[in-house]
Amino acid sequence: MARSGTNSADIKQKNMEAVKLMLYHQAPISRAEIAAQLGLTPATITNITGELINAGFIEEIESDASASHGIGRKPVLIDIRRDCFTVLGLTLGRDSTRFAICDMRGNVLAQGIYEVMNDEYSVMLHQLQGILSLIEKQHGDLWKNLLGIGIAIPGVVNAHMGQVKNHGNERRSWCGQPLGEEISRFTGLPVRVDNNVKARASAISLFWPDLLEGEQTYALCYVSFGIACPFVLGNSVFKGDEDAAGEIGKMILQPDSQESISFAPAGSLEALSSVTAVLKQCRDRIDRGEETILRELCPRVEDLSFPQVLEAQRREDPLVCEIMDRAMFYVGVALANIVSIINPHLILLSGAIFTNLHNAEVVQDTLMKHAFLADYKSLRIVPLDMGEYAGAIGAAACCIEKYFIRA
């Protein structure tokens, strides 16, 4: 198979991307430090940063006098101009629709929540257009400065095409539809569509790199109504040839199990351990007449919510504790298999389920017991509360990656 070559324009583009990424990860930073770390000449870095300054994308910052150690001029540092653009991120979740307008550093300038999108694509598209019109009306000054729009959705998403490829048994009419193209045409703005958990990983790498403590390869396990675990390799989210990498919720852990949910096969991690599965198991056992404090917290079993399950666990309700421990055991087993394959030194555990730290402890204990590790001390498992708007902020991060960093 023929290999593609490179030319000076390709090289310049790659160098520009590398400089922008370094600014996100390490700024404020001097030109000399950028040149040294990237292995590029000072002249190359001066030219690139000069272009970015002239375009209004980065700015010079005079460093603290102590940084010069009293000798010579104070070094001039550079950083991203956080106000050069705003970015709108939306997440079309299974429980709500949220938006966040961010600056170029991921700081939220405006946010809001709307109802869950309709399962029928044409109805959803009309809903989404209405929401976007409302956001533009309410936040006109921020809208005028938009770089673009990011949309994060559960399921397998072809980010290049701006399409949902597979949403399990849910939202089937969304699959294969040109969502990114239609929203771009409606708003006149560039639109990036991506998987919601991959978007969260992008937000961590771009906006909160300090959480990684220097690690460039890690896994983000997000347990919610579904379960996903994207892998970040060298600060880049690994998506696989069909954009389906990281969908560990579909991993079969009990082949003979009859436990299933609407969007995942029987015996899969999502059927055993997701929020959807935990709620189903709690309701089933209440219906069978088993004793639980959930009856007090929610007299109508059909109205049972996950915050009520977490509250029952905090009160050490035996039935709920049993269900949760079993669910977290399977998450630990799945992650043990992941660790044995990609050998990350860091796994982040995210989702409301980990606000009860006992659940993270069960996952960690199970993982450490069953994973093949070259060095047990090198693996860190860290529960991470990213907040309710992390998906929307992640969608904004995906937009910045596409239309600013790689532009």
Q: What is the pTM of this model?
A: 0.91
Q: Which CATH number fits domain 10-80: 3.40.50.2300, 1.10.10.10, 3.30.200.20, 3.30.70.2190?
A: 1.10.10.10
pLDDT at 2 over 50: no
Q: And the tokens for 67?
A: 């940084």
* Average pLDDT over every residue of 230-254: 87
Domain range list for the chain: 10-80, 86-204+390-405, 216-344+352-384
Tens of pLDDT, residues 58-73: 999 976 655 445 555 6
Query: If you average pLDDT over every residue of the chain, what do you get?
Result: 92
Whole-angstrom CA distances from 55 to 118, 274, 397 are 41, 46, 20
Res 1: pLDDT: 44
Tens of pLDDT, residues 289-315: 999 999 999 999 999 999 999 999 999
Res 365: pLDDT: 97
* Average pLDDT over every residue of 236-241: 82
Res 5: pLDDT: 47
Q: How far apart are CA 165 and CA 221, in angstroms?
A: 21
CATH architecture classification, 86-204+390-405: 2-Layer Sandwich (3.30)
Matching residue, tokens 């583009």: 13
Range in 188-202, 312-326, 374-388 with the lowest mean pLDDT: 374-388
Tens of pLDDT, residues 68-105: 455 556 779 999 999 999 999 999 998 899 999 999 99
| Identical topology for domains 10-80 and 86-204+390-405 | no
SS3 breakdown of the chain: % helix, strand, coil, rounded to 5?
A: 50, 20, 30
Res 242: pLDDT: 76
Three-state DSSP class for residue 187: helix
